[in-house]
Structure 1
Amino acid sequence: MFRITKEYHFSASHRLAHLPDDHQCARLHGHNYVVVVELSARELDGNGFVRDYHELQPLKRYIDDEFDHRHLNDVLGHDRVTSECLAKHFYDWCKSRLPETSAVRVSETPKTWAEYRP
C-alpha cells in the first residue's frame, strides 16, 4: 500500500458549551490547528503518484476560505466542535472529492492529535 500525506494549518476559535462552566474548554478560546490528510492506493497512477499533490489544492482553499480565522461553532453549526469532529468533517469532505482519502488527523496543540480512519 502506498500512502501520501499533506499538512495544512489554520487558526480558529471554538467553544465547547456543553462542558461544565468550570472546564477551560467551555470558554471561548482558539487554536492553531494542523490538518493532515492521508491518501492511500495499492497501485500508483501512470505518473507514479497516489495522487498529484497539486490536486489537493481545493482542500487548501476550503480550509483558508471557510475555517481560517473563523469561529468553528458557527462554521459547523453545532457546539461539539472537537478535534475528533473536525477530523471526521475533513475526512468526509476529502473522501467525496478524493477517493484515495484514507485518514485525516487534526491537532489543536503540538502534543495532541485526533484521527478519523474508517
Structure 2
Amino acid sequence: MSTFRVRRRIEIDAGHRIMTHGSKCRNLHGHRYVVEVECEASHLHPSGEQTDMVVDFGFLKDEMMRLIDAPCDHGFIAASADAELLALFAPVGGGEAWVQVLRDTVAAQGAALTTDTRMGTKLYVVPFQPTAECLAKHWFEVLVAPVRKRSDATARLVAVRVWETPNCMAEYAPA
C-alpha cells in the first residue's frame, strides 16, 4: 500500500536540566531544539483548501507554534519532581504552595505553563524528566488530535523527532 509523507520543522530555544543525570546534564543548560513532525496519508485531499495535500504545511506550522513554540521557546522546561529547580523559580512568598499549584495543574492537564516566576520568566512544567525522548512523546501527544482535525482526518501523525544538538536526536513513533 502506498503512502504519502510530509514533514515540518520548527526550532526553539529552551533551557532544562535532567536532575537525575550522573554527569553534566544535571546542570542548568539550554538547547536550540529542532522539532520535526511527520505525517502520512494513504490518499491526498480530493478537493478544497488542501487539494492534493496530506496536510497543509501552514496548518502544521500553526499547530507546532501554538503547542510547542508558544509555551516553550525562550523559556525553561522543568520536571514537576525537580523541587530544587522549582524553588529557584518560585516567586517571593510563593514557596511550596506555588509549587503545589503547578504540580496539580501538571497532574490534571499533562503540563503547566506559567510566567508567575521569581524573574517573570516562562516556565513549562512536565510530569517527566525533560529529556529529548520524553519531549518527543509529549509533543506527539499534544499534536496528534490537532493534526487529525486540521487535515480533516486525512493525515495521521506518525512521528515526532527532537534534536538537542545537530548530532543528537530522539524520536517518538507509537507502534
Calculate the TM-score normalised by the size of structure 1: 0.92
SS at 1:19's partner residue?
A: coil
Corresponding residue of 1:84: 133
Q: 1:104 aligns with which of 128, 151, 160?
A: 160
Q: Which residue in the other structure is 1:53 paired with? A: 57
- Tell me how far apart the structure 2 counterparts of residues 89 and 16 of structure 1 sit (CA, whole Å): 16
**Matching residue of 1:32:** 32
Asked if 2 retains the 8 angstrom alpha-carbon contact of 1:15 and 1:79, the reply is: no
Displacement of 1:36 = 0.2
SS in 2 for 1:55: helix
Q: Secondary structure at the match of 2:11?
A: strand
Distance 2:125 2:134 in 1: 10
Percent of counterpart pairs with the same letter? 37
CA distance in 1: counterparts of 2:52 and 2:125, whole angstroms: 36
Q: Does 1:3 align with 2:5?
A: yes
Q: How far apart in 2 are the matches of 1:39 and 1:77?
A: 25
Structure 1: unaligned runs, 5 residues or longer: none
Aligned pair partner of 2:68 in 59, 63, 68: 63
User: 1:6-60 CA deviation, whole Å, 9 max, x = no partner?
Assistant: 000000000111123xx10000000000000000001111200001112121221
**Distance (whole Å) between structure 2 residues aligned to residue 87 and residue 12 of structure 1:** 14
Contact 2:63 2:146 in 1 (8 A): no
TM-score w.r.t. the length of structure 2 is 0.63
Q: Which runs of 5+ in 2 are unaligned?
A: 79-122, 149-155
Deviation at 1:64, TM superposition (A): 2.5
Aligned residues: 116
How far 1:78 moved relative to its partner? 4.1
Q: Which has the higher contact order (CA 8 A, sep 6+)?
A: 1
Aligned-partner Cα distance in 2 for 1:79–1:85:
7
Aligned CA RMSD, in angstroms, stands at 1.3
